[in-house]
Structure 1
């Protein structure tokens, strides 16, 4: 696994992404921007700061972001393990119920098989560290499922024939 994530969106890899998840070892530099944990974000947002980035942990309540959605430049959704799907729910809630239209990024343990589902939930970019996922994305080999039965944040065309079937 690569230690430094590569940022990918539907147009390809991004080379000049300024966002940094700050830790004890990592701090944002002069041309970088910090992704703040929810509590730190709320503190700064209540003080009137804007164009902030927020890192949402799986146990966080995304509804707390509602009064500040117009001040958020990026919402990063943490996927700490491949089997923790709460980030999918957070993305869906942000898009469909809260009406957030900005960038949603998946960070953490992101696997290639999850990316099409993340895109359908409204996630717009992915911080990828998994070597296999990086290689497959570089090869433009994104897996997917052609037909879906449920609508999502990303609109899909109806396939015809069955009212519930949709095409990616």
Structure 2
């Protein structure tokens, strides 16, 4: 498993594996003795079997709607959002919705085509951890998380835009 970057720039070993969506007619294959991220809609469908398990989290694809978790977001220790390609920005919206509308407090992870250029924006949208694309330098990316000390706009990391922070 690839290492992951935490919001503070530290690099740690990834303890979670992403379980792919099963093909039509196939059943979900969750590995034993392993922390697993399963498709969010399958967690909802089998919620009674998964609720309370600290070794099961979910992942969203960019076309999934976070509303399917509604009042159950904080029952999950980890939610991952897949960025299928660099130019697909729907994952940013999913991250903000999970944090701001649904009040998700636990770990929010970016997975998929995650590049250094995106990390600062993902951080501002509420992501805590980042699984970088395998061909990218994780150490260089980790340093990039702290390039900027202030954001102009309000986001999940600050309620007020910079001009209002300066005025107070």
> TM-score, structure 1 length as denominator?
0.79
- Cα displacement (A) at 1:73: 0.9
User: Aligned to 2:19, which of 22, 42, 46?
Assistant: 22
2: CA distance, partners of 1:142 / 1:70: 26
Distance 1:136 1:150, change over 3 A: same
Task: Give the equivalent residue in structure 2 for 1:125.
Answer: 129
**1:5 partnered with 2:9:** no
Task: Give the equivalent residue in structure 1 for 2:164.
Answer: 163
Distance 1:49 1:148, change over 3 A: closer
Task: Give the equivalent residue in structure 1 for 2:61.
Answer: 57
Which 5+ residue runs of structure 2 have no aligned equivalent? 23-28
1: CA distance, partners of 2:155 / 2:119: 14
Alpha-carbon RMSD across the aligned residues, in angstroms, is 2.7
Equivalenced residues, count: 157
Higher strand share: 1
Stretches (4+) displaced over 6 A: none
- Cα displacement (A) at 1:43: 1.6
- Cα displacement (A) at 1:163: 2.6
- Cα displacement (A) at 1:104: 0.4
Task: Give the equivalent residue in structure 2 for 1:31.
Answer: 33
Distance 1:71 1:146, change over 3 A: closer
1: CA distance, partners of 2:156 / 2:17: 26
Distance 1:18 1:132, change over 3 A: closer
Task: Give the equivalent residue in structure 2 for 1:150.
Answer: 153
Which 5+ residue runs of structure 1 have no aligned equivalent? none
- Cα displacement (A) at 1:13: 1.1
